[in-house]
A and B are shown apart, each in its own frame.
Chain A
Amino acid sequence: MLDPENTSSENNTAHADDFEYRAQKALKERPRFSIRTRLLLGFLLFFVLNAAAEITSIITLHRLDNKTRFLVVADRYTNEIQQARRYEKNFLLYKSNLQFVFDHVNTAESLMETSSRELEVVLGPKNLETLRAHLNRYKELIQRLDDLHQKGRSASSPETDKIEDELREHGSQMISFAFQLSEKERKTVASMFKYAQFVPFIFLLILLVLVFYTVNFLTKQIHRPLGRLMVLTERIGEGDLTPIMPARKYRDEFTNVNLALNHMMHELKRRQEQMIESHKLRAIGTLTAGIAHELNNPLNNITLTAALLEEDYKDLSDKERLDMVRDLLKEAERSEKIVKNLLDFARESEIKTEHLEIPNLVSETLAIAQNQIKLKGVTVNASFPENLPFIHGDRQQLIQVFLNIILNAVDAMDKGGKLRIWAEYYKSPDYITLLFKDNGHGIPHHVLPSIFDPFYTTKSTGKGTGLGLSVSLGIIEEHGGEISVESEIDRGTTFSIRLPIAKIPAELR
Chain B
Amino acid sequence: MTDKVNILVIDDEPIVGKRLKPALEKSGYNVDVCETGSEALERIHNKSYDIVVTDVRMDEVDGMEVLSRVTEKSPKTKVIIITGYATIEIAREAIAKGAFDFIAKPFKPNELREIIQKAIDALEEESN
Q: How far is the CA of A468 from the CA of B108 in the complex (A)?
A: 41
Known contacts being A293-B85, A297-B84, is A307 close to B109, with CB within 8 Å?
yes
Is B15 interfacial (CB-CB < 8 Å)?
yes
Q: How far is the CA of A304 from the CA of B13 in the complex (A)?
A: 12
- What's the least CB distance linking A124 to chain B, in Å? 122
Chain A, interface SS category: helix
**Residue of B16, B59, B104, B106 most packed against chain A (CB within 10 A):** B106
- What's the least CB distance linking B107 to chain A, in Å? 7
Known contacts being A301-B13, A301-B16, A327-B15, is A308 close to B84, with CB within 8 Å?
no
Neighbouring B residues of A292 by C-beta, 8 Å: 85
Neighbouring B residues of A56 by C-beta, 8 Å: none
Neighbouring A residues of B19 by C-beta, 8 Å: 301, 304-305, 308
Is B73 interfacial (CB-CB < 8 Å)?
no
- What's the least CB distance linking B63 to chain A, in Å? 12
- What's the least CB distance linking A313 to chain B, in Å? 13
Neighbouring B residues of A293 by C-beta, 8 Å: 84-85
Neighbouring A residues of B104 by C-beta, 8 Å: 296
B84 touches A304 (CB 8 A): no
Q: How far is the CA of A292 from the CA of B26 in the complex (A)?
A: 32
A304 touches B15 (CB 8 A): yes
- What's the least CB distance linking B78 to chain A, in Å? 21
Neighbouring A residues of B108 by C-beta, 8 Å: 303-304, 307
Contacts of B14-65 to chain A: CB distance below 8 A: 15-16, 19-20, 22-23, 26, 57, 59, 62
Is A108 interfacial (CB-CB < 8 Å)?
no
Q: How far is the CA of A442 from the CA of B109 in the complex (A)?
A: 45
Contacts of A292-336 to chain B: CB distance below 8 A: 292-294, 296-297, 299-305, 307-308, 311-312, 327, 331
- What's the least CB distance linking B26 to chain A, in Å? 8
Neighbouring A residues of B2 by C-beta, 8 Å: none
- What's the least CB distance linking B15 to chain A, in Å? 4
A375 touches B57 (CB 8 A): yes
Name A308's contact: one of B62, B107, B109 (CB within 8 Å).
B109
- What's the least CB distance linking B35 to chain A, in Å? 13
Q: How far is the CA of A312 from the CA of B20 in the complex (A)?
A: 13
Is A239 interfacial (CB-CB < 8 Å)?
no
Q: How far is the CA of A351 from the CA of B65 in the complex (A)?
A: 48
Q: How far is the CA of A293 from the CA of B13 in the complex (A)?
A: 14
Is B110 interfacial (CB-CB < 8 Å)?
yes
Neighbouring B residues of A308 by C-beta, 8 Å: 19, 22-23, 109
The A/B interface has a contact count, at CB < 8 Å, of 55
Q: How far is the CA of A292 from the CA of B110 in the complex (A)?
A: 23
Is A377 interfacial (CB-CB < 8 Å)?
yes
**Residue of A293, A296, A375 most packed against chain B (CB within 10 A):** A296
Known contacts being A308-B19, A377-B59, is A300 close to B106, with CB within 8 Å?
yes
Q: Chain B, 75-110, contact with A by CB distance < 8 Å: what is the 0/1 string?
A: 000000000110000000000000000001111111
A297 touches B13 (CB 8 A): yes
Neighbouring B residues of A331 by C-beta, 8 Å: 15
- What's the least CB distance linking A307 to chain B, in Å? 5
A296 touches B84 (CB 8 A): yes
- What's the least CB distance linking A343 to chain B, in Å? 20
- What's the least CB distance linking A295 to chain B, in Å? 9
**Residue of A294, A299, A304, A331 most packed against chain B (CB within 10 A):** A304
A304 touches B57 (CB 8 A): no
The chain B residue sitting closest to A323, CB to CB, is B18
- What's the least CB distance linking A122 to chain B, in Å? 120
Neighbouring B residues of A327 by C-beta, 8 Å: 15
- What's the least CB distance linking A197 to chain B, in Å? 105
B20 touches A304 (CB 8 A): yes
A304 touches B16 (CB 8 A): yes
- What's the least CB distance linking B21 to chain A, in Å? 11
Q: How far is the CA of A331 from the CA of B62 in the complex (A)?
A: 23
Q: Chain A, 374-390, contact with B by CB distance < 8 Å: what is the 0/1 string?
A: 01010000000000000
The chain B residue sitting closest to A301, CB to CB, is B15
Q: How far is the CA of A296 from the CA of B85 in the complex (A)?
A: 7
Neighbouring A residues of B16 by C-beta, 8 Å: 300-301, 304
B107 touches A303 (CB 8 A): yes
A307 touches B110 (CB 8 A): yes
- What's the least CB distance linking A426 to chain B, in Å? 37
Q: How far is the CA of A297 from the CA of B15 in the complex (A)?
A: 10
- What's the least CB distance linking A305 to chain B, in Å? 6
Q: How far is the CA of A296 from the CA of B109 in the complex (A)?
A: 15
A300 touches B59 (CB 8 A): no
Neighbouring A residues of B106 by C-beta, 8 Å: 296, 299-300, 302-304
19 A-B pairs in the complex with CB atoms less than 8 angstroms apart? A292-B85, A297-B105, A300-B105, A300-B107, A301-B13, A301-B15, A302-B106, A303-B107, A304-B16, A304-B19, A304-B23, A304-B107, A304-B109, A307-B109, A307-B110, A308-B23, A312-B22, A312-B26, A331-B15
> Which 6 pairs show the lowest CB-CB distances between chains A and B?
A300-B105, A300-B106, A303-B106, A301-B15, A296-B105, A299-B106
Give the B-binding residues of A (Cβ under 8 A): 292-294, 296-297, 299-305, 307-308, 311-312, 327, 331, 375, 377
Give the A-binding residues of B (Cβ under 8 A): 13, 15-16, 19-20, 22-23, 26, 57, 59, 62, 84-85, 104-110
4 new A-B contacts, CB < 8 A, other than A299-B105, A312-B26, A375-B57, are: A294-B84, A296-B85, A296-B106, A304-B107
